[in-house]
Structure 1
């Protein structure tokens, strides 16, 4: 049975047949045949949500409001998270995400785990024939990021990155105006992102009874549990699981930089700068960073403070931020753009764009290639701080040039038995 047959005509039959191969029961729910306002299951995308704490809960609720989608599976390492969320959307709860990925009745997944699980799960989703919405940031390393990109392209799977500002009209307008040449030739791009945090308890604590701690740790180094290790903000600022807000929040304004220009593809990328790495407490990712460099011939700055991307050109400047846009010439902001003439895809609802793109087999507003470009920039900044040296990246060869020691930071070992293959 091919995928289009599964999702549009045989999903109910497949769901019943699949039930026999799992230890958990599946049932045809009361809304499977549709209602006056909801399409029948045969015309809906069936979705599994992997990771439903913090951000994942919000994405699950957003998916529940997409009429063309139906959540049928939920997975999380915390029983107290997965079971209530599964009940909320009338889905089956899975302790192990691999069981969810093995289901033939699931077309796509939403991955909103801690950062270190994003790519390992996404790769397994692609191998299982699933399309994927993956929260930012992308990889824990450049190696992971590029492998994820290549895997989804090769498998022809649909990918949506969790950079929701691409579904914001002001951000679209600002980046579209830059793409249409309003500022003239781009000479400089500045990016601002919120700072990270220091702190976090390192005192060993009892593991919660409802948490599968070895599964939560997964491919990361095994460490003693502490009260701050497995919850926000600890998951954002511990280097075992993340590169911190350089990627975790920096992904948003860096993504806007990518959306508005191709400066990062125009020539060699050079990045250097400073930052602090806390030496006390659980959190040890880069904070207080101040990065400068070149994207080809375009000057580049990335610092803490705010959430803003500004393009400076020969004719003026345009800034985009979450929910807002500004320009040196205010009349530009009144420009009426025919969608048929737009260079950038228009999306009003990020999750709905993902569902529609999967059903139509077309690119999302935040595709994998763009996700990889911005993610690589954040990693190069991290490597520059940790090595204390200027990093030169060849965007064609996709490697660091002339610094073998810095190249070692492109990869991290994974705890057995987990691998990227």
Structure 2
């Protein structure tokens, strides 16, 4: 494996965009000289010229990564130009589809000056390390959920993106669904009165998975796939779902992998988690046989200031219960419900619109990058940290059997046990380290 590259935001060499903008400024007189401009470069009524498009590199193009790529390609202001993936056939196929370059090593993609933004849709354990390197390279990043493999990773990501000032978009696409925004806006405007409690549910994890060692498939760079996680033998269930979601070396399971969605809706619909200490306790099962070893069948009790929250397996929804009624914001529109159904359809007055409006998650990201405005991203990093930390607190509480208290303002545990404090971070396999600022 090549040595880890140092990537920083500072770069004074001309970028592709600088060159293209200069080219489109050619006057009519100089344009009389032999010069060919393709119709693609000029754009058309539906597509801006190349100089005005945001160039995107895609890191990880498995099932979810391909879905995001299709979303990016549907945005006229975006142009996908490069792909990196640990599977050779996969990256080469997608690179051919987009007419771009294929890279085995994502660092070679990040080193390109002509790429404005990247999509990080890798296995969970790679999300934060790659996102941080992207930010240090001056690139905005669309990062799939969940965020970090530990709370220290989450906070490091927040620090670097804030320092670099690039755009971050979290892959919590429910924020770009109108019915989810409607429900959260109604809660925020006080339509159900003061919140009394919240109920959060999401799909469960599970046990199983083949543990027997197998030959690494031809074309898979397994060394890079494992990356900063502990090296272990390849098995047929490790590098594909649900293994890539339910193995603790690589994730914390659906506590975060799916819990990111309804927990994100919780912080979007209210600021209860900022109102006081967060206290988490609960139970869950950890498989002792098979490959999968993340918490499942959890039953969490969370106190957000003076508001009690339950978090359990089930369908994907967040139910806000107030003194004057309730609203249940579900992933599926036909499952949205409220004590007063009219709350789900009534128009809101302008003064009640507190949330960023997005009807297309990838388009919202591209527009934020184009405007160089991190605050325009509907799934911002500040909120991603809020919800992801709660997932990690749940994991720590189950694995230690302790009541865990978090100070959301200081962003630290309150009087933690030695065991709980140790779970704030994860060791990274060399030569990989967690960058935390300008290199």
Scaled by the length of structure 1, the TM-score of the pair is: 0.93
1:69-88 aligned at under 5 Å gives the runs 69-88=78-97
CA contact (8 A) 2:196 2:323 kept: yes
The equivalent residue for 1:331 is 342
Of 401, 405, 417, which residue of structure 1 is paired with 2:419? 405
1:186-265 aligned at under 5 Å gives the runs 186-265=195-274
| Greater mean alpha carbon deviation, residues 333-342 or residues 376-385 | 333-342
CA contact (8 A) 1:258 1:370 kept: yes
How far 1:333 sits from its partner (Å)?
A: 2.2
How far 1:397 sits from its partner (Å)?
A: 1.8
CA contact (8 A) 2:189 2:352 kept: no
Distance of aligned partners of 1:304 and 1:353 in 2 relative to their CA distance in 1, 3 Å threshold: same
The equivalent residue for 2:315 is 306
How far 1:405 sits from its partner (Å)?
A: 1.9
The equivalent residue for 2:400 is 387
Q: How large is the RMSD of aligned CA atoms in angstroms?
A: 1.8
In structure 1, how many angstroms separate the alpha carbons of the residues matched to 2:20 and 2:362?
A: 21
The equivalent residue for 1:38 is 47
How far 1:237 sits from its partner (Å)?
A: 0.3
The equivalent residue for 1:114 is 123
SS at match of 2:369: helix
CA contact (8 A) 1:133 1:160 kept: yes
Matched, 1:348 2:359: yes
Distance of aligned partners of 1:359 and 1:396 in 2 relative to their CA distance in 1, 3 Å threshold: same
Scaled by the length of structure 2, the TM-score of the pair is: 0.90
Distance of aligned partners of 1:11 and 1:128 in 2 relative to their CA distance in 1, 3 Å threshold: farther
The equivalent residue for 1:20 is none
SS at match of 2:216: coil
Structure 1, residues 210-240: CA drift from partner, whole Å, max 9, x if none? 0000000000000000001111111000001
1:161-200 aligned at under 5 Å gives the runs 161-200=170-209
The equivalent residue for 2:431 is 417
How far 1:303 sits from its partner (Å)?
A: 0.3
How far 1:54 sits from its partner (Å)?
A: 1.5
SS at match of 2:94: helix
In structure 2, how many angstroms separate the alpha carbons of the residues matched to 1:250 and 1:29?
A: 46
In structure 1, how many angstroms separate the alpha carbons of the residues matched to 2:268 and 2:38?
A: 41
CA contact (8 A) 1:32 1:41 kept: yes
In structure 2, how many angstroms separate the alpha carbons of the residues matched to 1:35 and 1:73?
A: 23
How far 1:33 sits from its partner (Å)?
A: 3.2
Matched, 1:361 2:375: no
In structure 1, how many angstroms separate the alpha carbons of the residues matched to 2:38 and 2:227?
A: 33
Structure 1, residues 231-279: CA drift from partner, whole Å, max 9, x if none? 1111000001000000000000000000001100100111101100001
How far 1:12 sits from its partner (Å)?
A: 7.9
Runs of 4+ in 1 over 3 A off after TM superposition: 5-9, 11-14, 338-341
Structure 1, residues 19-67: CA drift from partner, whole Å, max 9, x if none? xxxxxxxxx9872332342111101000000000110011111111111
Matched, 1:139 2:139: no
CA contact (8 A) 2:318 2:330 kept: yes
Matched, 1:371 2:394: no
SS at match of 1:31: helix
1:44-83 aligned at under 5 Å gives the runs 44-83=53-92
In structure 2, how many angstroms separate the alpha carbons of the residues matched to 1:29 and 1:286?
A: 54
In structure 2, how many angstroms separate the alpha carbons of the residues matched to 1:29 and 1:97?
A: 29
CA contact (8 A) 2:150 2:425 kept: yes
In structure 2, how many angstroms separate the alpha carbons of the residues matched to 1:132 and 1:224?
A: 31
| Greater mean alpha carbon deviation, residues 180-189 or residues 93-102 | 180-189
The equivalent residue for 1:156 is 165
Structure 2: 5+ residue runs without aligned partners?
1-9, 24-36
In structure 1, how many angstroms separate the alpha carbons of the residues matched to 2:182 and 2:171?
A: 19
Aligned residues: 407
CA contact (8 A) 1:380 1:391 kept: yes
Of 126, 139, 144, which residue of structure 2 is paired with 1:130? 139
In structure 2, how many angstroms separate the alpha carbons of the residues matched to 1:7 and 1:148?
A: 27
Structure 1, residues 84-107: CA drift from partner, whole Å, max 9, x if none? 011111110010000000000000
In structure 2, how many angstroms separate the alpha carbons of the residues matched to 1:120 and 1:29?
A: 38
The equivalent residue for 1:19 is none
SS at match of 2:42: coil
